């Protein structure tokens, strides 16, 4: 007879499995689905057995080349524009050179065919 590993469940002083007030077996903090006992979690074992994936069927090299897709990696571009180049001290109007910088950023955004998000942050100094 093979011994069942019950280390995923609490035991009383006589090595019996501990039941909660609701009649459920009490799991330890290091319990994992691999430590499931049929007596304690029969429904869980049924779910685990059903969800086991079926092994993949072997494919030829030609099939692999045709069906495998390479996930695209997100590209993050950070552009920082200096307040010294954009605004004069105590001014809200853009300086003439700043318009050229902003036009360049806008042009890069327009040319991006896979752009899905833009985040713009701006800050005021302690004076405001």
pLDDT in tens, 27-38: 888 788 888 888
- Cβ distance 25 to 19 under 8 Å? yes
115-117-119 Cα angle (round to 5): 130
- Residue 1 pLDDT more than 60? no
- Cβ distance 109 to 115 under 8 Å? yes
* Token output for 53: 């994936």
Q: Which 3 state secondary structure label does DSSP give 33?
A: helix
pTM above 0.85, yes or no: no
Measured distance CA(91)–CA(95) in Å, rounded: 9
pLDDT in tens, 12-24: 888 888 888 888 8
Model confidence at 117, pLDDT cuts 50, 70, 90, reads confident
Backbone φ and ψ of 94, nearest 5°: -70, 145
How much is the average pLDDT of 93-105? 84
Backbone φ and ψ of 116, nearest 5°: -125, -5
- Residue 2 pLDDT more than 70? no
Q: Which residue has the higher pLDDT, 68 or 14?
A: 14
Q: First CA to last CA across the chain, in angstroms?
A: 79
How much is the average pLDDT of 88-100? 82
How much is the average pLDDT of 3-8? 80
- Residue 51 pLDDT more than 80? no
């Amino acid at each position: 007879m093979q011994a069942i590993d019950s280390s995923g469940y609490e035991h009383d002083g006589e090595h019996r499995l501990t039941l909660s007030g609701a009649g459920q077996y009490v799991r330890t903090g290091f319990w994992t689905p691999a430590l499931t006992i049929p007596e304690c979690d029969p429904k869980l074992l049924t779910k685990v057995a059903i969800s086991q994936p079926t092994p993949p069927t072997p494919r030829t090299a030609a099939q692999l080349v045709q069906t495998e897709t390479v996930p695209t990696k997100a590209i993050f571009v950070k552009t920082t524009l200096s307040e010294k180049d954009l605004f004069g001290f105590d001014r809200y109007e853009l300086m003439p050179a700043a318009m050229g910088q902003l036009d360049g950023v806008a042009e890069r955004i327009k040319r991006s065919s896979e752009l899905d998000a833009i985040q713009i942050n701006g800050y005021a100094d302690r004076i405001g």
